[in-house]
Structure 1
Amino acid sequence: MINTYLKIIIIGTSGQIGWELQRTLASLGEVISLERSQLDLSKLETIRSCLMVHRPNLIINAAAYTQVDKAEEEQELAMTINGIAPGVLAEIAKELDSVLIHYSTDYIFDGKSSTPYQERDIPNPINIYGKTKLAGERAIIEIGGNYLIFRTCWVYGLRGHNFLLTMQRLVKEQKTIRVVNDQFGTPTWSRFIAEATAQIIAQIRGDIIDYLNEYSGIYHLSCGGKISWHGFAQAIYNRVNLQNSNHAQIIPIPTSDYPTLARRPRFSHLDNAHIQNTFGIKLPDWDIGLSLSLS
């Protein structure tokens, strides 16, 4: 049995989700924040010694190799961080009788579906990034400890490198911006992900191990609705332009006109019914998240 006051380690606190987690989890226990300089998941041999010093009740892995195109060229590094390190974390969590929370991605699917992906749908990643993230999921499951895997979609935030910040910059610098209009997904604000994580931890912290013996598993965690990258770009422009006099044009183009090293799924809409039915968590639609993030 774990005390209601938790010792929580967050790995990857310089990232979008990790940075938000530091704020949302502060009232739930002792939060130990580890940036890459303090714990580098590419250095597998350092993970155990770092975590064993703290012996946390809860390990949250918000770190990942997220450069989708570069992963095609740095396959070994991406696999180490995304595919192997989560298994090491799961082993340590099991040894400590702790819980591991890990974030995965819609990119473990091939995007060929015409209906929102459910947790039970068969993964079929079409790029190295997706393959490494799927490997991480499977490594955690294979260990057989207590875990929650949250698959997210099109994550953006107010720091780091993401589509929102890129578009905010481009609409101020360029008159014409070309964005693909045949890839669909659900933009999800990193703050919503962190707040949902905190709500779930708050629900289960008093009896966390016994609870997760029943509820360990994979859950989809994204905003509602779906939009194309072009539609998302246009929505960002419309809101940014309320405060600026620039007049940029967002031009829709097919994926074939914007070649990249890594293939992208054409459809990345996730079904969130499982997390809603289990924990009562339902994130707002993507457009509400965008408005709140820019307010």
Structure 2
Amino acid sequence: MRISVTGTTGRVGAALANHLAAKHEVIPLPRSRCDLADRKSLAAALEKLECDVLINPAGITSLEDCEDDPAMAMRVNAEAPAEIADWAQSRGVPVFHFSTDYVFNSDTPRLFNEDETPEPISVYGRSKLAGERKILARPGNCVIRVSWVYGPEKSSFVDRVFDDALAGRPIAAVADKFSLPVLTTDLAEWLDCLIDRKTTGIIHACNSGEPVSWHDMAIAVVEEMKSIGLLSAIPSVERQKLSEMASFRAARPRHSSLATHRLTEILGHPPRPWREALAEHVRQRSLLR
């Protein structure tokens, strides 16, 4: 199968392209070849494209960048996906488009199902929701919502905690914001299954378990580092409040955890627990240092 993947210099795009290349012919569409911000660049890339499936993880993911330039956020996260969906429909090509848990918001702990009404509170969330609707307006497409993605392709919050702990630097993390993370290697395996099953509609894709904060994840990282002998003792992790983060100019939901009942049905088993996936990532990082 010929599978085209946008944003292959990004974390998710790189993970998907690398994994799918083992079974399929992957056609990478990095920003240098297919810039979603540039209508002409996107049109030129699509005009020459011949594929059986198109995967679109590309987008503007910085909340602050979206707040600073709402028009560009809508261009990349909504208008470009609409153009991709139009092209794909004309060719009979299914689109697997990536979105975010930030289309949701709650002040109380809960898990959101795929069929619940989104209520984004940021430009980023609103632009991603608009992109979802453009994709789903065409039959045969799939929207995959992910949250707190990390993996070996690019440094993330998890890796910063790892490096700070190893270097003996102070560690701090927000303790009053909750979701469920996903490891890219797991995500890539799930997508392989979703493609094989010709999945359509909305899918929530994250690791399982109780919703966690960034502080919980940081604690898990250092505990795993201690268990494999990288640390002689577990360092303290300072608890921060979301309201204290001066660099966060865009509003962020306190609770946006995704329920994965539909993914569980498709896979035939629940996604593995987030703590298990995180432990694997930490062990792999320990081998590369």
TM-score, shorter chain, exceeding 0.5:
yes
Query: Take 1:176 and 1:7, find their aligned partners in 2: how far apart are those partners?
Result: 47
Aligned to 2:216: 231
Query: Take 1:124 and 1:276, find their aligned partners in 2: how far apart are those partners?
Result: 25
Alignment counterpart, residue 245 of structure 2, candidates 253, 258, 262: 258
Aligned to 2:58: 63
Alignment counterpart, residue 116 of structure 2, candidates 115, 121, 134: 121
Aligned to 1:285: 273
Count how many residue pairs are aligned between Structure 1 and Structure 2.
Answer: 279
Structure 1 window deviating more from structure 2 (181-190 vs 249-258): it is 249-258
Query: Take 2:65 and 2:168, find their aligned partners in 1: how far apart are those partners?
Result: 25
Aligned to 2:101: 106
Map Cα deviations across residues 67-101 of structure 1 (whole Å, 9 max, x no partner).
Answer: 12232112222221111111111111101010000
**1:196 maps onto 2:190 in alignment:** yes
Instruction: Give the conservation status (yes or no) of the 8 Å contact 1:10–1:60.
Output: yes
5+ residue gaps, structure 2: 284-289
Alignment counterpart, residue 201 of structure 2, candidates 185, 192, 217: 217
Structure 1 window deviating more from structure 2 (22-31 vs 60-69): it is 22-31
Instruction: Give the conservation status (yes or no) of the 8 Å contact 1:152–1:188.
Output: yes
Once the two structures are TM-superposed, the CA of residue 172 in structure 1 deviates from its matched residue by: 3.5
Query: Take 1:114 and 1:69, find their aligned partners in 2: how far apart are those partners?
Result: 25
5+ residue gaps, structure 1: 1-5, 205-214
Matched AA of 1:250: V
Query: Take 2:91 and 2:23, find their aligned partners in 1: how far apart are those partners?
Result: 19
Matched AA of 1:184: F
Aligned to 1:210: none
SS in 2 for 1:54: coil
Query: Take 2:267 and 2:218, find their aligned partners in 1: how far apart are those partners?
Result: 32
Higher relative contact order (CA 8 A, sep 6+): 1
Structure 1 window deviating more from structure 2 (85-94 vs 215-224): it is 215-224
Question: Which residues in structure 2 correspond to 1:151-190 (within 5 Å)?
Answer: 151-173=145-167, 175-190=169-184
Query: Take 2:9 and 2:108, find their aligned partners in 1: how far apart are those partners?
Result: 34
Aligned to 1:46: 41
Query: Take 1:198 and 1:15, find their aligned partners in 2: how far apart are those partners?
Result: 18
Task: Indicate how the Cα distance of structure 1 residues 281 and 37 shifts in structure 2: closer, same or farther if over 3 A, else same.
Answer: farther
**1:141 maps onto 2:136 in alignment:** yes
Map Cα deviations across residues 195-240 of structure 1 (whole Å, 9 max, x no partner).
Answer: 1001222334xxxxxxxxxx52111111101211101011112223
Query: Take 2:156 and 2:74, find their aligned partners in 1: how far apart are those partners?
Result: 21
Aligned to 1:11: 6
Alignment counterpart, residue 72 of structure 1, candidates 53, 62, 67: 67
| Aligned-CA RMSD value | 1.9
Instruction: Give the conservation status (yes or no) of the 8 Å contact 1:20–1:190.
Output: yes
Overall identity of the aligned pairs, in %: 29
Map Cα deviations across residues 139-177 of structure 1 (whole Å, 9 max, x no partner).
Answer: 1122x2321111111111123242112222332445432
